[in-house]
């Protein structure tokens, strides 16, 4: 049986989508079935067992517009996601005091619904790290080992 992993993105300028595309390629090469959503809805994720969220932080520490409705819906629904394991890759600029705050929003929202975080989130500082794909790929190895 092929293992399935769902990836969703929160992206404003496309950086998180590029990283998610790279992770999808890595997982597919390893034999995983991957579902990738750039505008995920609650119905896309609520039955998933393994979820990876790749998101940037927008504005004053908020989720990007394409993922905000999903997390607002998640917050307002009485869901049990205890079957789900998840991990988060965040992109942000350390020039802001809300550096990768969207990661915290995602972690808290999923944990509040019973989902289990597999490993520490990867927070990529776009000011000093220009190897986003490689950094995310290294994180993915740890995520796969621990899930």
Task: Give the Cα-Cα-Cα angle 71, 77, 78 (nearest 5 degrees).
Answer: 130
Mean pLDDT across the chain: 96
Mean per-residue pLDDT, 1-20: 92
Confidence band for 138, pLDDT divided at 50, 70 and 90: very high
Q: What is the pLDDT of residues 83-111, one digit of tens each?
A: 999 999 999 999 999 999 999 999 999 99
Binned at pLDDT 50, 70 and 90, residue 59 comes out as confident
13-37 burial string, b = 16+ CB within 10 Å, else e?
A: eebbbbbbbbbbebbeeeeeebebb
Looking at residue 2, its pLDDT comes to 66
Query: What class, spelled out in words, does domain 4-146 have in CATH?
Result: alpha beta
Residue 1: the pLDDT is 58
Which pair of tokens denotes residue 73?
């819906």
How far is it, in rounded angstroms, from Cα 19 to Cα 14? 9
Q: What is the mean pLDDT of residues 46-52?
A: 96
């Amino acid at each position: 049986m092929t293992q399935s992993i769902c990836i969703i993105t929160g992206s404003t300028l496309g950086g998180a989508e590029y990283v998610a595309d790279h992770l999808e390629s890595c997982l597919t090469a390893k034999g995983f079935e991957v579902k990738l959503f750039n505008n995920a809805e609650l119905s896309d994720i609520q039955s998933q067992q393994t979820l990876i969220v790749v998101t940037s932080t927008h504005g004053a520490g908020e989720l990007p517009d394409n993922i905000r409705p999903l997390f607002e819906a998640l917050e307002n629904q009485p869901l049990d996601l205890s079957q789900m394991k998840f991990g988060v890759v965040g992109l942000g600029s350390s020039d802001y005091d809300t550096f990768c705050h969207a990661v915290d929003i995602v972690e808290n929202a999923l944990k509040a619904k019973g989902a289990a975080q597999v490993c520490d989130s990867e927070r990529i500082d776009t000011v000093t790290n220009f190897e986003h794909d490689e950094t995310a790929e290294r994180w993915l190895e740890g995520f796969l080992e621990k899930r």
